[in-house]
Amino acid sequence: MGNSGGSLTTRSTGELHQFMRAAGFTGIDDTKAMAEGWQVTDFADAGRRSLASLVQRTGEPAVMVSFLDSDVGFIEALTPDGNSWEGLLNREMAMSYEIPLEHFPVEPAVARALAWSAAAGLTSDEEAIRQTLTGSALFAEELSSALMVALGLPGAA
């Protein structure tokens, strides 16, 4: 059985775990530093408004990927000024779960991801974002890692 939790990537000048708990994240794991203040933290579960609450509390952009048994990744991203987007990782596998792909159109997600990245002060790679949103992998976490690089997150690997 794979990962059914999630991964949160954000900047934080305070105690990120406290902000995450206050925003409704549970099962918070260790935080790993990336570069330029960006951090990534795995978690077990998040509430429906957890990402919005966290961004409001920290005043920093964030991207969250929630995994379904390591097969599929549901992306949510938000900046403090309201730039947001949603997407889906591992579309081919998502079909086997009968997830309606029409709820996650690729081109609008690419456009909004580019806008989110710019609003977050990052330099993204449009084609690489598109590839992560249309690609397949054994584990959705592989596509998530590639997406963080494509979004231009410093220190993402």
Q: Encoding tokens for residue 22?
A: 């206050």
Q: Encoding tokens for residue 26?
A: 């549970």
Q: What is the pTM of this model?
A: 0.94
Give the Cα separation of 38 and 98 in Å (integer): 34
The answer to whether 75 and 69 are in contact (CB under 8 A) is no
Which residues, other chains included, contact 121 with Cβ-Cβ below 8 Å and sequence gap of 6+?
A: 61
Sheet containing 6-11: which strands, arranged edge to edge?
31-33, 38-43, 6-11, 62-68, 72-78, 84-89
pLDDT score of 157: 72
> Domain boundaries in the chain?
6-150
Give the Cα separation of 70 and 44 in Å (integer): 13
Which residues are bridge partners to 140 per DSSP? none
Digitized pLDDT (tens) for each residue of the chain, 157 residues in all: 455 799 999 998 778 999 999 999 999 998 999 999 999 999 999 999 999 999 999 999 999 999 999 999 999 999 999 999 999 999 999 999 999 999 999 999 999 999 999 999 999 999 999 999 999 999 999 999 999 999 999 988 7
pLDDT score of 82: 92
Give the Cα separation of 38 and 3 in Å (integer): 23
Helix axes 140-150, 126-134, angle to 10 degrees: 170
